Amino acid sequence: QKGEITLLLTDSQYAYGLLGREPDIPAWAPLLYQLQLLDFREKPDPLTLPIADRIRIGNQKRETGNFHFQREEYSLAARAYCVALDVLTTRSKDGNDVGVKEEEEEVQDYRVKCLNNLATTQVRLEQFDEALHTSRDVLTLEPNNVKALFRVGKLLSDKGEYKEAMEVLKKALKLEPATKAIHVELSKLVKRQSGGKETQEWKPKPAEMLGDNIAPFLIPSKKKPSGISWKFILGALVVALGSLVTSMILTARN
């Protein structure tokens, strides 16, 4: 009832679980809450809220998702991001936009952050098809988002769709040519295209030189020389010469 006070005992899995909360809550600690119901009201429809309230609530839910993600509670994180995305919209009930340009840009910025975080969470949950779809949603809003481009390229490469993966990763490389992770993923992709044979590797080149033909960016891998190494032969000669000198010294002394 309104104004009522109650005690609520909760198991650790519904509180702070394995990690606890420093400095006052240890791992796997059950908690006893004292709660008072101050007020209650109907849940508002996000489409009826002012844009400023949508941004505030959506950002709170996004930060809640970040909290759970850092604790590796990925299912809870994904749920929070989805709730945030439901709120972060400029649409009204009749389907029209109700925000001004600045508000629309702010909402889109938060949606991109939520979608990127959700896609990363889905990868951790091994929901790869969902992660690919979510990453494409990011690119719909922001076509040059490098995080989404990299993730799409990697997921496509893992699915065996090498041609599209190459196009997406090359676009990401043009935007951020110094990012090592993109070079590494391109190297893996080229090896996969060659059937797993380590006959070629990706050689980083200036981004403006990248075109449809990637042949100039492939260099033969260094093969190990066959036969006996010259270092081994030299070492054997030194040992033999030392033994001969020692033998001659001992003979002269005798």
Quick: pLDDT tens for 75-104.
999 999 999 999 998 887 666 666 678 888
What residues are paired with 201 via a beta bridge? Answer: 219
- What pLDDT shows up at residue 217? 42
Helix (H) or strand (E) segment spanning residue 182: helix 180-193
Tell which phi-psi region holds residue 6, choosing left (phi > 0), alpha (psi between -120 and 50) or beta. Answer: beta
At 10, list the tokens.
């909760």
DSSP secondary structure letter of residue 70: H
User: Where residue 237 falls among pLDDT bands split at 50, 70, 90?
Assistant: confident
Judge whether residue 148 has pLDDT over 60.
yes
In CATH, the number for domain 42-142 is: 1.25.40.10
- What pLDDT shows up at residue 218? 44
Judge whether residue 247 has pLDDT over 80.
no
Quick: pLDDT tens for 191-232.
988 876 544 444 544 444 444 444 444 444 445 555 556 666
Question: Which of 181, 180, 182, 177 has the alpha carbon at shortest distance from 166?
Answer: 182
Measured CA to CA, the distance from residue 36 to residue 84 in angstroms comes to 27
Judge whether residue 74 has pLDDT over 90.
yes
- What pLDDT shows up at residue 198? 46
Contact call for residues 59 and 84 (beta carbons, < 8 A): yes
User: Domain coordinates of the chain in residue numbers?
Assistant: 1-40, 42-142, 153-194
Q: What's the mean per-residue pLDDT of the chain?
A: 84
Quick: pLDDT tens for 2-38.
999 999 999 998 888 888 998 999 999 999 999 999 9
Contact call for residues 155 and 126 (beta carbons, < 8 A): no
Per-residue buried b or exposed e for 40-67, using 16+ beta carbons within 10 Å of the residue's own CB: eeeeeebbebebeebbebbbebbebbbe
pLDDT greater at residue 18 or residue 145 = 145
State the virtual CA torsion across 13, 66, 78, 142 in degrees, nearest 10. 180
Residue 133 vs residues 26, 126, 148, 156: alpha-carbon distances, Å: 39, 13, 11, 11
- What pLDDT shows up at residue 47? 83
- What pLDDT shows up at residue 216? 43
Measured CA to CA, the distance from residue 136 to residue 142 in angstroms comes to 10
Question: Which of 147, 129, 130 has the alpha carbon at shortest distance from 138?
Answer: 147
Percent of the chain having pLDDT more than 70? 76
